C-alpha cells in the first residue's frame, strides 16, 4: 500500500533535479544524506551524463527556489560535477505522485540533511518555510 498526492490540488511545486556525480561513493553519500528528506519523492540512478535524477517537491515557489540553491539543496552536496534543476509546469497522464509517508512530523530540531533552517537567510526573510521534519517548519504540511 502506498500513498499518492495530487501536487496541483495541494498547490505543491514539483521539480526534477539532474546530477552528474563524480563517483559511486559520492552518489551513495548523497542518497544516504537525503534518505529521510520529506521533499525528495524519488531518486533514480541512471546511465548517462547525469547519473542521478531526483523528483522533489516544495510547498511554495519561494521554497522551491530555496531547495534549488541553498545548503539543503541536493545540488550543494559534495561530489557533484554539474547539475540542472527543472521546475515541472504540467503533469500528463496521471496527476498523482507517490509520497513517502511519515517524514513530515515537525518534531526534530535538526533536519535529516543536517542543515539548520533558522540561520538561513531565505528562512529569516520568509522565502522558505523550512524543513517539515523540524519544529521550525512554517508550512502547510
Mean pLDDT of the chain: 91
Convert the pLDDT of each residue in 75-133 to its tens digit: 989 999 999 999 999 989 998 988 776 667 777 888 999 999 999 999 999 999 999 99
Residue pair 18/83 in contact by the 8 Å Cβ criterion: yes
The position carrying cell 542518497 is 31
* DSSP H or E run through 20: strand 13-21
Domain 3-103 has CATH 3.40.50.300: no
The Cα–Cα gap between 74 and 80 comes to: 9
Of the candidates 87, 44, 42, the residue with the CA atom closest to the CA atom of residue 63: 87
Q: What is the average pLDDT across 57-64?
A: 94
Of the candidates 38, 99, 39, the residue with the CA atom closest to the CA atom of residue 64: 39
Amino acid at each position: 500500500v502506498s500513498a499518492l498526492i495530487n501536487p496541483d490540488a495541494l498547490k505543491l511545486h514539483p521539480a526534477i533535479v539532474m546530477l552528474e556525480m563524480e563517483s559511486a561513493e559520492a552518489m551513495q553519500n548523497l542518497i544516504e544524506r537525503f534518505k529521510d528528506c520529506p521533499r525528495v519523492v524519488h531518486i533514480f540512478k541512471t546511465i548517462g551524463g547525469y547519473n542521478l535524477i531526483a523528483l522533489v517537491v516544495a510547498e511554495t515557489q519561494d521554497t522551491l527556489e530555496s531547495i534549488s540553491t541553498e545548503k539543503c539543496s541536493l545540488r550543494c552536496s559534495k561530489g557533484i560535477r554539474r547539475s540542472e534543476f527543472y521546475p515541472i509546469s504540467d503533469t500528463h497522464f496521471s496527476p498523482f505522485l507517490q509520497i513517502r509517508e511519515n517524514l513530515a512530523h515537525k518534531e526534530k530540531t535538526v533536519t535529516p540533511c543536517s542543515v539548520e533552517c533558522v540561520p538561513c537567510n531565505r528562512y529569516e526573510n520568509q522565502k522558505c518555510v523550512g524543513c517539515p521534519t523540524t519544529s521550525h517548519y512554517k508550512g502547510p504540511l
